[in-house]
Amino acid sequence: MKNYLKKLFVPLLASAPVSSVATKFFHQGTPIFMIHRLIVDGQSSSGVSPEHLRHCLNYLVKNGYTFVSLDEVIRSVNSNTPLPEKSVCFTMDDGFIEQGNTAIPIFIEFNCPLTFFVIVGFLDNELWPWDTKISFIINNTRKTHLSMLFDDEQVSITLNKNDSHRSAREIIRNTIKEMDASLIPDFISLLADTAGIQVPESAPDEYLALNWDMVREYESKGIRFAPHSMTHRILSKLDKKSAENEITTSWSRLKTELSNPIKVFCYPTGRVLDFGPREIQILKNEGFLGAVTTIHGYVNTSNLSPDQAFCLPRFELPDNMMDFMQYCSWIEHAKIRS
Ligand SMILES: [Zn+2]
């Protein structure tokens, strides 16, 4: 059985945030948080609620944390100078409309710097991301079991309850991440046919992108924007020229549309296998200052590895206060241990 298809049947234990964080819990450093979808009334988006985001920022203000911008973090990494104690950095990925409408006003209210990585082809109305198409298909199908033959392999997915919908989405997404990029459109179209779902050309309401006027408006209020590729395809699954094009075109489009984009890249899906020395070299050749990943960990300027600025770790913003406080509180934990 093909490797990526095999993974359909393997629980994604390795991606569980808790297990990963546990090993890094006591390392000193600054957490960079990333936000994806926001929960908005009347829509079924999963993610963090605006109330929760407000609680998190309020907690940081009340407990003496310093907000640092991503460019401060990168400057500090590149110059090997320490960041303030108890500092926290925020980023947001992709470019959905509710991220702008819902999260940005909260960051502005708290005067908290935010770097927003946008999928440029999505904002250009050329596409909607392949991983959100998977969510759309799974969320809307009435079938409880999907069985299909892809690339000479039988694929079977059971969708009984909400929980199995969520895990099916994650498992399919992670399966697709292992495929050669050229196979993805065919896989999605077969999945849609099997699920009895028509995938529209442009994004449906729940998955709408920001437009450039909105982005310019947010930029004028201090939000920094940076490239997250043209198409959200995984760079390591592309040939060199295509990977280069994802990086250089998304940056040049941002420079054309905005007055102050930041030259830091966000690798699509950002796991260890999704980028490598080739992508880091392209970024360096193009004069990028650094790049962020979705690998869990803290930024620690006293213990830098080579190319650290191009492999910056991040944590998904936890959806509950207890986890959030723990992610932020390495100093307290270090004190308790000493
Ligand atoms: Zn993304």
Look at strands 32-35 and 87-94 and give their pairing: parallel
Q: Does a structural domain hold residue 329?
A: yes
Give me 154's structure tokens.
């039988």
Give me 88's structure tokens.
């926290």
Report pLDDT for 304. 79
Report pLDDT for 335. 44
Residues 6+ apart with CB under 8 A from 338: none
CA of 292 to the centre of ligand 1 (A): 11
Count how many domains the chain has: 1
Site of tokens 């590149």: 78
CA 98 to chain centre: 15
CA of 131 to the centre of ligand 1 (A): 9
What pairs with residue 252 in β-bridges?
A: none
Rounded Cα gap, residues 308 and 134, in angstroms: 32
The CA–CA distances, whole Å, from 129 to 95, 292, 330 equal 10, 19, 35
Q: Does a structural domain hold residue 85?
A: yes
Radius of gyration of the chain, Cα coordinates, nearest whole angstrom: 20
Report pLDDT for 167. 77
Confidence band for 233, pLDDT divided at 50, 70 and 90: very high
What pairs with residue 115 in β-bridges?
A: 91, 224
Rounded Cα gap, residues 230 and 14, in angstroms: 28
Range of the structural domain that residue 306 is part of: 18-127+208-337
What would the DSSP string read from start to end of 13-28? GGG-HHHHHHHHTT--
Q: Does a structural domain hold residue 192?
A: no
CA of 34 to the centre of ligand 1 (A): 10
Confidence band for 164, pLDDT divided at 50, 70 and 90: low
Rounded Cα gap, residues 244 and 261, in angstroms: 19
Confidence band for 64, pLDDT divided at 50, 70 and 90: very high
Q: Is the pLDDT of residue 22 over 60?
A: no
Q: Does a structural domain hold residue 203?
A: no
Q: Does a structural domain hold residue 264?
A: yes
CA of 228 to the centre of ligand 1 (A): 7
Beta strands in the chain (DSSP E): 32-35, 66-67, 87-94, 115-118, 145-150, 153-158, 224-227, 264-266, 290-292, 315-316
Q: Does a structural domain hold residue 316?
A: yes
Tell me, what CATH number does 300's domain have? 3.20.20.370
Exposed, middle or buried, 10 (CB in 10 Å: 0-12/13-18/19+)? exposed
CA of 152 to the centre of ligand 1 (A): 30
CA of 150 to the centre of ligand 1 (A): 26
CA of 171 to the centre of ligand 1 (A): 17
Q: Is the pLDDT of residue 3 over 60?
A: no
Q: Is the pLDDT of residue 263 over 50?
A: yes
Taking the model in full, what pTM does it have? 0.88
CA of 25 to the centre of ligand 1 (A): 25
Q: Name which of 35, 101, 95 is nearest 227 in CA terms.
A: 95
Q: What is the mean pLDDT of residues 77-98?
A: 94
CA of 209 to the centre of ligand 1 (A): 13
Q: Is the pLDDT of residue 200 over 90?
A: yes
Apex 312 CA angle, 260 and 297, nearest 5 = 135
CA of 199 to the centre of ligand 1 (A): 20
CA of 294 to the centre of ligand 1 (A): 9
Exposed, middle or buried, 205 (CB in 10 Å: 0-12/13-18/19+)? exposed
CA of 232 to the centre of ligand 1 (A): 6
CA of 231 to the centre of ligand 1 (A): 10
Contact 112, 70 (CB under 8 A): no
Rounded Cα gap, residues 311 and 67, in angstroms: 21
CA of 114 to the centre of ligand 1 (A): 16
What would the DSSP string read from start to end of 36-51? --B--TTS---SB-HH
Residues flanking ion ligand 1, Cβ below 5 Å: 93-94
Apex 91 CA angle, 89 and 96, nearest 5 = 160
CA of 274 to the centre of ligand 1 (A): 12
Contact 65, 328 (CB under 8 A): yes
Q: Does a structural domain hold residue 132?
A: no
Q: Does a structural domain hold residue 262?
A: yes
CA of 98 to the centre of ligand 1 (A): 15
Rounded Cα gap, residues 52 and 42, in angstroms: 17
266-302 confidence digits (pLDDT tens): 999 999 999 999 999 999 999 999 999 999 999 988 7
CA of 117 to the centre of ligand 1 (A): 8
Q: Name which of 294, 266, 3, 320 is nearest 120 in CA terms.
A: 266
